[in-house]
């Protein structure tokens, strides 16, 4: 498991358990053994299964888990997604932390799946953004992939994104071209993307060397169609800005290559899952 994810899981457990689970200690016999299941209370898409299993193992190494749904697989109301067996105290102590991870990540995956399905049959990718929960980025972006989406840049370090504020600070064509050339020389293989607010700005950017992608920000469908025509297949085009489930199909029909949706991560609702003991 990725080290920062392990650290996050341990921090979540420490936050909940503190110096000890007083309820389980005083109300559950230490030698009691049980079987339990995490059950879907509504339909969704699985994400975070490995995280939930790790939670229980860290609480008590004697706990055994069996995944009935793998990341990316859909489930319906009433489906058992994970079974846990072993010391009852451990099951109860790990229950909330495991559910917190699963409910959040399944919510992201389910939300992503809805957006992916909404653009069919158009050949457009649904991208996430950096609008993630601090510390949860790897998990939430993995959940986006589980839902059928595509990860955009992971952070500021792996993809050049020259946005409007960068351009306002240092944005003449000559200055932009010089900076692009330096990236190409010093960081070969790094993708370079520029944000466009207008078609006039896009026209200027199409004349620059070394650009891989353009982000068409807050443009209506008519302008996006014009942008696709202007581009003529030269660069990868991404549409972004306030796109919803109600509008995304129209955006997909313009011919852009990708649509980024911050709501995949910043506004996904946690799904309803619960833990039930098995008699």
Q: Using one digit for the tens of pLDDT, what is the confidence trace for 149-202?
A: 999 999 999 999 998 777 755 567 888 999 999 999 999 999 999 999 999 999
Q: 42 an active-site residue?
A: no
Residue-level pLDDT at 167 = 72
One domain for residues 103 and 224: no
Percentage of residues in the chain with pLDDT exceeding 90? 93
- Across the chain, mean pLDDT equals 96
Q: Which of 79, 95, 195, 238 is catalytic?
A: 195
- 70 is in which domain, residue-wise? 3-114+268-278
pLDDT tens by residue, 229-262: 999 999 999 999 999 999 999 999 999 999 999 9
Say if residue 106 is in the same domain as residue 225.
no
Residue 195 annotated to the active site? yes
Let me know if 77 is a catalytic residue: no
Residues 93-109: pLDDT tens digits?
999 999 999 999 999 99
Which member of 114, 131, 223, 225 is catalytic? Answer: 131
Domain total of the chain:
2
274 and 230 part of one domain:
no
Average pLDDT over residues 3-27: 97
163 an active-site residue? yes
Candidates 41, 62, 66, 163; catalytic one: 163
d(CA 82, CA 64): 10
Of 35, 96, 184, 249, the active-site residue reads 96
Q: What is the CATH number of the domain that holds 65?
A: 3.90.1170.20
Supply the pLDDT for residue 30.
95
Own/partner pairs for 248-253, CB < 8 Å, 24+ apart? 248/115, 248/118, 248/119, 249/118, 249/119, 249/122, 250/221, 251/221, 251/224, 252/119, 252/122, 252/124, 253/122, 253/221
Q: What is the separation, in whole angstroms, between the first and last Cα of the chain? A: 33
Is 131 labeled as catalytic in the residue annotation?
yes
Listed in sequence order, the residues at least 6 apart from 62 whose beta carbon sits closer than 8 Å to its beta carbon are: 86, 87, 90
Same structural domain for residues 14 and 108?
yes
pTM recorded for the entire structure? 0.94
């Amino acid at each position: 498991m990725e080290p920062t994810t392990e650290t996050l899981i341990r921090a979540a457990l420490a936050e909940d358990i503190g110096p000890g689970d007083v309820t389980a200690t005083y109300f559950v016999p230490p030698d009691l053994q049980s079987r339990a299941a995490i059950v879907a209370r509504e339909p969704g898409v699985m994400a975070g299964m490995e995280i939930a299993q790790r939670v229980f193992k860290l609480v008590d190494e004697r706990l055994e888990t069996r995944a009935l749904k793998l990341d990316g697989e859909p489930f319906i109301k009433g489906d058992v997604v994970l079974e846990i067996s072993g010391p009852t105290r451990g099951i109860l102590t790990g229950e909330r932390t495991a559910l917190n991870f699963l409910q959040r990540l399944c919510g992201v995956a389910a939300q992503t799946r809805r957006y992916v399905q909404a653009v069919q049959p158009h050949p457009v990718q649904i991208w996430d953004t950096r609008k993630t929960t601090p510390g949860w980025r790897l998990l939430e972006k993995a959940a986006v992939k589980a839902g059928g989406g595509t990860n955009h840049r992971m952070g500021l370090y792996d993809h050049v994104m020259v946005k409007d504020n960068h351009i306002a600070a240092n944005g003449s064509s000559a200055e932009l071209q010089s900076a692009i050339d330096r990236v190409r020389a010093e960081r070969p293989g790094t993708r370079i993307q520029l944000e466009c607010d207008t078609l006039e700005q896009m026209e200027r950017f199409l004349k620059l060397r070394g650009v891989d992608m353009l982000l068409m920000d807050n443009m209506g469908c008519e302008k996006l169609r014009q942008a696709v025509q202007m581009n003529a297949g030269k660069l990868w085009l991404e549409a972004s800005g306030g796109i919803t489930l109600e509008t995304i199909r129209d955006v997909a029909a313009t011919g852009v290559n990708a649509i980024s949706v911050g709501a995949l991560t910043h506004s996904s609702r946690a799904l309803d899952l619960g833990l039930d003991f098995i008699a």
